[in-house]
Amino acid sequence: MQASVHDLPDEIILLVFAYLKKGLPAGRYNKALRRTALGWVKAGHVCSRWRQVLLENATLWTDVTSFYDVGVIEEFKSRSRDALLNLDIDLLCDHALGRSADSRVVEYLTQDDLWERSFRVKIDDARSVRYRDYLPSLAYPTIVRALTRTSLTNLVELRLFIPREAGQLHVLSAPCLRTLCLKSDAAEAWQCLLVFETFADFLSESRHLQHVQLQRAVDSRFSGRYQARRQTPLLALQHAEFDCFDEGLVALISQHCFLLPGAYSNLDIFGVRVLNYAIALVTSFMQCSSTTVSARIARQRERAYALDGVFLSYRSEFYALRLAFARGRRVTWRKDLAEPSWTWDDFANAYDCQAISSLHLHHSLYISPEDDPSQTNDQLSTTLLRSLGGLQELNIEHESHFDFVRSLPITPGLKVISVKDPSVCDLVHLWHFIRRQEQTRSTVDVTLTGRVFDDDVIMAEQRAYDEAPLLAAVGVLCNLNDRRVIRHRAQYR
């Protein structure tokens, strides 16, 4: 007697449906064919028994946002019966590409009963310009109101991007939440999605929070009149990644959470009120050891456009001092160029810079090519550089860095030096720097990295002629490894 797919056990049929859901998504619109793909749903037409198993299993229908159609969404909701729903607006917008926009879809998806039944809500990538017709900017205030008035007792994962024009959340009730990811385009603290008191109340009610990711989302301004108190054990975080306009948010999270030994954490501090207090807060929360600290200093720009894609939401230029510790924990201290809240001298006096064993200078540290480090207060201070007596590794990526490393103290422990794309002048500066360290040749390893462009034989010979005596001189002082790769510019045209 031959076996038939009709006779397969229910468990096997359900596994087939689960596999097909991953490989054959349902609901994606094909603009060329002008029709919507049924995907895994077609497997219900194999035979009457497969259709029966499909209709009787409520969890297969919980992805209610697979189809950009109110009628289909209602049908999925009905077939899911009492099962918790997955409200993925990103998926909805992606599957809708090519279709005409229907305002009824967004109106239906912001109903309270859908949010109350959801175990997962995701509205992040939908802010893209390509999805603007399906999730217009006017829909975000409605989403904020739905979050405010709904008790999200079943919600386990919340991933949201809310523009600052949509308003603020004054209530967030989700006691079972495990993953919280909130993003905004706030330029100032008062424009953030969550006010301090709202986030404090949320943390005090949370019982299972494990993953936190906040991007310009919490207004950390705190007058001191509100005292958050936790009556239950601290939340054990496996992942903490957030930025804040000052140290107030770190203080609040520290009152309610702690990091597990293997947890990942990445903090970005835009500014501080009191630098010493902020450093103490971050050090305590991250439980970071001061014995293995690597520092990376770079001048960066950050900007974001509003949902219209025309006007800027915010723009900032700053120095970023990133400290990396063991177990994948990092903190970035931003020194804003326009309105700095601390100075390099302040940081050198407040932090144990002697513990920094690795220094990576990234890109140019000048504000403009015409800058002279001796004539501006925005550059790295001599006080900070001279406090780095524990350096063991130094990475240089730009010619401007040699204007600063000459202020470094004589460090007997400096064993590794890396220079990216060195010019002839850089090799001269490198020779002077190594010579000043007064170390034996066998103790210092110097590596040259990057690319060398030799477009013709004459250029290659001239480069070799200019560099040869300098490389020989540097090689006398250290173990020199030239790992630069020779390229021709024609390869990049």
Q: How buried is 150 (Cβ within 10 angstroms: 0-12 exposed, 13-18 middle, 19+ buried)?
A: buried
Tell me what the mean pLDDT of segment 341-355 comes to. Answer: 93
Average pLDDT value for the chain? 89
Give the C-alpha separation, 287 to 295, whole Å: 17
Residues 384/348, Cβ–Cβ less than 8 Å: yes
Q: Are 189 and 246 in contact (CB under 8 A)?
A: yes
What whole-number distance in Å separates Cα of residue 137 and Cα of residue 123? Answer: 13
Query: Which residues are within 8 A (CB) of 482 and not within 5 positions of it... i.e. 6 or more apart?
Result: 448, 471
Asked if pLDDT for residue 115 goes beyond 90, the answer is yes
In angstroms, the CA 157 to CA 165 distance is 24
Average pLDDT of the residues in 268-289: 92
262-266, 438-442, 479-483: segment of lowest average pLDDT: 438-442
- Could you tell me how many helices (H) and strands (E) the chain has, helices first? 15, 19
Look at residues 268, 136, 257, 243 and name the one whose alpha carbon lies nearest to residue 192.
Answer: 243
pLDDT at 381: 78
Whether residue 230 has pLDDT greater than 80: no
Quote the pLDDT of residue 479: 94
- pTM over the 0.85 mark: yes
Distance CA 407, CA 383 (A): 9
Collapse the DSSP code of 305 into the 3-class scheme (helix H, G, I; strand E, B; otherwise coil) and give the result: strand
Indicate if the pLDDT at residue 375 is higher than 50.
no
pLDDT confidence tier of residue 1, bands split at 50, 70 and 90: very low
Closest by CA position to 299, among listed 342, 245, 363: 363
Q: What is the mean pLDDT of residues 102-116?
A: 93
Please report, for residues 139, 447, 491, the alpha-carbon distance to residue 148 in angstroms, rounded to integers and kept in the order given: 15, 57, 56
What confidence score (pLDDT) does residue 202 get?
A: 93
Banded model confidence at residue 343, pLDDT cuts 50, 70, 90:
very high
Span 169-177, mean pLDDT?
92
- Does residue 370 surpass a pLDDT of 60? no
Tens-digit pLDDT profile for residues 305-328: 887 777 888 899 999 999 999 888
pLDDT, one tens digit per residue, over 237-267 is 999 999 999 999 999 999 999 999 989 999 9
